[in-house]
Structure 1
Amino acid sequence: MNFQIQNSNKNDIEEIFRLYKIATDYQKTKFSVHWPVFDRTLIETEISENRQWKMVANGQIACVWATTFNDPQIWEERNYDQSLYIHRIAANPEFRGQGLVGKIVEWAKVYAAQNQRQFIRMDTVGNNLGLINYYTKCGFDFFGLVKLKNTSGLPAHYDNAIVSLFQITLNRK
């Protein structure tokens, strides 16, 4: 199957929220912490800033995610490193098991290098051993658990949360 990665657009908003709802419903069956309903303005802003992405195959969105080059509340003093941060990966159930995160990682390596970034970073709320194992299999180093100091302005699932941090270091030539 041929997967293509491109920026999301305003016509994708309903599908983005559908995939977030599927992911949240799944999280509710497995974990005590789950995604809140995200503010539509957040997604619209990410789209207008070309920071909301989609992977498309056979005319369908296989998964979505967001990126930023700045994440100070989660990465604190490490935020000064030149990094690409990936947030809110949500997969279409019809495409699960097809290595989508691995495909995102390969894309992110190129995108980060094009933008002079040395690291690719992600976080997930909680001590989710399944996700920790999965993300490390996708090439991330697990940086451990961190209690966030300042969550004001972050989505609600970060309140009073312990966060797992992940990083890939890119080779510099």
Structure 2
Amino acid sequence: MTIENSNLTEVPKIFELYRIATDYMKSKDQVYWPEFPKELILNEIEDNRQWKLLINKQIACIWATTLNDELIWGNENEPSLYIHRIATDPKFRGQNLVKKLMDWANKFGKNQSLKYIRMDTVGLNKGLISHYKKIGFEFLGTKKLKNTNGLPEHYKDGEVCYFQKEII
């Protein structure tokens, strides 16, 4: 297993994994992701903020990171690693990939002198809340965002659930 930045040749695979995740969310009657603008993904790749977890040289999981998330988290001053849009290839489900991703995030955050790993999800997905709590996240509660300008469309569709884990 290796974790590294995604590259431009992988954009079709990234969108495929997003479509699979979106279809899964729809099948569970959850708030689901819109089709993300290609430019968003290209910018993340160019900024080294789009990541992949490889197993046997195959992309098993993808996600994006940022060090600032004011639109969702407000003016939080604690230095944090924000993780967005985790999508797993169904062939690799059940292998605790999110736990492995969080182990990587903890090391990454420690090297950057960050205090927290933070995530959010839209809609009250009790299964996901439980899953994130099992891997050490504190569920901080929910909030309806007043201003969703500049955010993907699904942020208009429900309350945002906030999760935080201290970097150790």
CA drift at 1:170: 1.9
Structure 1: distance between partners of 2:87 and 2:15: 9
Structure 2: distance between partners of 1:23 and 1:170: 27
Q: Which of 33, 53, 56 is residue 54 of structure 2 equivalent to? A: 56
CA drift at 1:160: 4.6
Q: Which of 127, 131, 144 is residue 130 of structure 1 equivalent to? A: 127
What letter is aligned with 2:139? Answer: F
Counterpart of 2:24 in 1: which secondary structure? helix
What letter is aligned with 1:167? Answer: Q
Superposition pairs of residues 52-131 of structure 1, within 5 angstroms: 52-78=50-76, 80-131=77-128
Contact 1:56 1:62 survives alignment (8 Å): yes
Q: Which of 119, 136, 151 is residue 139 of structure 1 equivalent to? A: 136
- Offset from partner CA, 1:80-137 (integer Å, 9 cap, x none): 2100000000000000000000001000000011111100000000111000000011
CA drift at 1:20: 0.2
| C-alpha RMSD of the superposition | 0.9
Q: Which residue of 2 aligns with 1:167?
A: 164
What letter is aligned with 1:24? Answer: T
Q: Which of 7, 19, 28 is residue 21 of structure 1 equivalent to? A: 19
Structure 2: distance between partners of 1:140 and 1:60: 28
Identity %: 53
Structure 2: distance between partners of 1:87 and 1:12: 18
Structure 2: distance between partners of 1:148 and 1:161: 9
What letter is aligned with 1:93? Answer: P
- Offset from partner CA, 1:123-161 (integer Å, 9 cap, x none): 000111000000011111100111112110100000152
Normalising by structure 2, we get a TM-score of 0.97
CA drift at 1:59: 1.6
Normalising by structure 1, we get a TM-score of 0.95
Contact 2:31 2:157 survives alignment (8 Å): no
Structure 1: distance between partners of 2:132 and 2:30: 20
Q: Which residue of 2 aligns with 1:148?
A: 145
Contact 2:64 2:84 survives alignment (8 Å): yes
Structure 1: tracts of 5 or more residues without a match: none
What letter is aligned with 1:105? Answer: M
